[in-house]
Structure 1
Amino acid sequence: MNKRAFWIAACAMAALVVTGCGKKDEPVAAAVEPVPVVAKAIVIGLDDNFPPMGFRDEKNELVGFDIDLAKEAGKRLGVEVTFKPIDWSAKESELNGNRIDVLWNGLTITEERKTNILFTKPYLENRQIVVVTDKSAITNKAQLAGAVVGVQDGSSAVDAVQKDEATAKSIKELKKFGDNVTALMDLSAGRLDAVVVDEVVGRYYTGKKPGEYRVLEENFGTEDYGVGVRKGDTELAAKLDKALDDMRADGAAATISTKWFGKDIIKP
């Protein structure tokens, strides 16, 4: 075979190979596995001694208002929800260290926290109330002068008291506790003169012990609760917002609220 015949035959074979591989204007793309925007499971960090938002019942099972809300939201997102008790004073480190995915446990939205946490829209309004024993002579914030006042470490109660400069300066000591329940127990034992606590927690706990505690008319301000995620998890925050909106619309949130508070206190 001369050179001309050889090259003609080679080109013909190459054309057959290319034709056999499919249409040249429809290249076959490599299969790419889609990456889910929201994981199939999310870990929620919480303080497990924060009734009625999240706490352990007599069977040592996690229950509470926020627990029920989070479970219902998880169903609507199609994800498995697990709960991880954390040191609440280190909540931002737990979140941004990827040891949890969500903070959902009576988390107050503050400008300071917004620098490290991405919040959903508020779902509940709360106040920082002052609880004293029923026999206490204290009837207003001015009478906290010289008092030992208990708060939960890392909670918004700390900020609320400190923002009220006149009261904060007059207090003898702002004593910090790992949880509100322990602080209220110390109040009953006479080791504290008052406790500043989230209203949802204070009302729930004091309501179980009628005649033992009294809530002052004055408080340390109103605040909103939101669900917190990492700053970059915008898609997860949006999906949680939609789930909460749907729960408001179809009455699921109101049902959960009534179960724990006796009425619908969900923020519209």
Structure 2
Amino acid sequence: MKLKKIFKGIVAALATLLIVSVAATALPTKAHAATNSSSVSAIKKRGTIKIAVFGDLQPYGWVTKSGKRTGYDVYLARQIGKDLGVKVKFVQVNADSRVDALKSNKVDLVLANFTVTPQRKKQVSFAKPYMKVSVGVLSKKSNPITKASQLKGKKVIVTKGTTAEQYFTEHSNGVTLQKYDSKTQQFNALKNGRASALADDNSYLFAWVKKHPTYTVGIKKIGTESEISPAVKKGNKSLLNWTNKEITKLNKKGFFTTDYNKNLKPYFGSDVKPSDIIITNNK
């Protein structure tokens, strides 16, 4: 009888420990959901959405001499704020600080020309894409680099945290990378003759050479084509679902074509068509 009582006592104690353990595991998840400061309801309650954009990437996100923030991503950000019924608080980021800005809750949403990659998908959640892009290579028109084999033994400029840096890290092609923190720094380095070429997203290299005609995008595409999407913090299903619906709705209204004609077309010229840049078939 004593053994039976002892056995029952042990079983009861184990059952209690199991219940406590399960409850303890479940509580943080509920607390996280309840305290998600970037959920749609939390954003609407405070009346502001924090959106990460670039400040020196013309024509996608930059600040004019008069202090006005403008560009393709900025135009989209303002539309998102309008449709949410809140004000937009812009948070300026560099390429390599976009992921950390989400993880540290400095921003709710990233619209800083954020290319989708397998590595980034492990760290943040991407919504539906609204643009497509490839890595391009910029060089002097007087000494153009038009094929990858010409890069062997050359110095190539990239911005830290970009797909261009990632591509040439994985497929070095015999190049030596010079890495900079911002777009401004990388283009200044090229103009100062610190390297033979510069690699970055081809879409804004096209825009840059239009203003700097002594340079050319000799390699218009290297590697595979990628997509650009809004990004939210991992686990933020509320804002992710809303953003997916928003991208679909805006596509149906022709918003991205309007955005292209207003903010990109004046910078690209005849070599680039809307279909080369924007994605309009999201469902």
Q: For the superposition of Structure 1 and Structure 2, which TM-score range results when normalised by the shorter chain?
A: 0.7 to 0.9
Determine if contact 2:135/2:220 at 8 Å carries over to the other structure.
Answer: no
CA distance in 2, matches of 1:260, 1:67: 10
CA distance in 1, matches of 2:217, 2:98: 30
Structure 2 letter corresponding to 1:237: L
Match of 2:74 in 1: 67
1:137 is displaced (CA, Å) by 4.8
Q: How do residues 153-192 of structure 1 correspond to structure 2 at under 5 angstroms?
A: 153-165=160-172, 167=173, 170-171=174-175, 173-192=176-195
Instruction: Tell whether 2:46 aligns with 1:46.
Output: no
Q: Give 1:182 shift.
A: 2.6
Could you tell me how far apart the structure 2 residues matched to 1:213 and 1:185 are? Answer: 16
Cα deviation digits, residues 188-213 of structure 1 (max 9, x gap): 22111000011122111111122333
Q: Which residue of 1 aligns with 2:196?
A: 193
Offset at residue 36 of structure 1 (A): 5.7
Between 1:121-130 and 1:49-58, the stretch displaced more is: 49-58
Task: Determine which structure has the larger helix proportion and give its number.
Answer: 2
2:243 pairs with one of 237, 240, 244: 240
Q: Distance in 2 between matches of 1:161 and 1:244?
A: 31
**Normalising by structure 1, what TM-score?**
0.80
1:118 aligned residue (110, 113, 125) = 125
Structure 2 CA distance for aligned equivalents of residues 102 and 137 of structure 1: 38
Listed as ranges, the matches of 1:211-222 within 5 Å are 211-222=214-225
Within 1, Cα distance between the matches of 2:118 and 2:145?
A: 32
Give, in whole Å, the separation in 2 of the partners of 1:147 and 1:179: 21
The CA distance in 1 between the partners of 2:92 and 2:117, in whole Å, is 22
The correspondence for 1:97, drawn from 104, 107, 124, is 104
Deviations 1:87-141 (A, max 9, x none): 4312222211111111111101111111110110111000100000111153311
The question of whether the paired residues in 2 share the 8 Å contact of 1:84 and 1:100 is answered with yes
Percent identity at matched positions?
25
Distance 1:150 1:120, change over 3 A: same
SS at match of 1:118: strand
AA paired with 1:243?
E
Long gaps (5+) in structure 1: 1-34
Number of aligned residues: 230
Match of 2:278 in 1: 266
- Contact preservation (8 Å) 1:73, 1:244: no
Contact 1:45–1:83 (8 Å) recurs in 2: yes
Superposition RMSD in Å: 1.8
Q: SS at 2:59's partner residue?
A: coil
Give the partner amino acid of 1:207.
K
Letter aligned with residue 164 of structure 2: A
Query: In 1, Cα distance between the equivalents of 2:190 and 2:89?
Result: 33
- Equivalent residue of 1:45, what SS? strand
Equivalent in the alignment of 1:3: none
- Give 1:177's aligned amino acid: Y
Assess if the C-alpha contact under 8 Å between 2:108 and 2:233 holds in 1: yes
Q: Indicate the residue corresponding to 1:149 in structure 2.
A: 156
> 1:87–1:186: structure 2 CA closer, same or farther, 3 Å change rule?
closer
Q: Secondary structure at the match of 2:41?
A: coil
Alignment-mate amino acid for residue 44 of structure 1: I
* TM-score with structure 2 setting the length: 0.76
Deviation at 1:38, TM superposition (A): 4.9
Aligned partner of 1:119: which letter? F
Distance 1:143 1:70, change over 3 A: same
Farther off after superposition, 202-211 or 66-75: 202-211
1:80 partnered with 2:87: yes
1:25-72 Cα offsets, whole Å, 9 max, x none, are xxxxxxxxxx96351221112221122111111212211100001111
Q: Which runs of 5+ in 2 are unaligned?
A: 1-38, 266-272
1:132 aligns with 2:139: yes
Residues 128 and 198 of structure 1 are in contact (CA less than 8 Å); yes or no, is this contact kept in structure 2?
yes
Give runs of ≥4 in structure 1 deviating > 6 Å: none
In the superposition, relative to structure 1, how do residues 36 and 253 fare at CA in structure 2: closer, same or farther (>3 Å)? closer
2:221 matches 1:209? no
* 238 and 174 in structure 1: CA distance in 2 versus 1, 3 angstrom threshold: same
Counterpart of 1:235, as a letter, is S
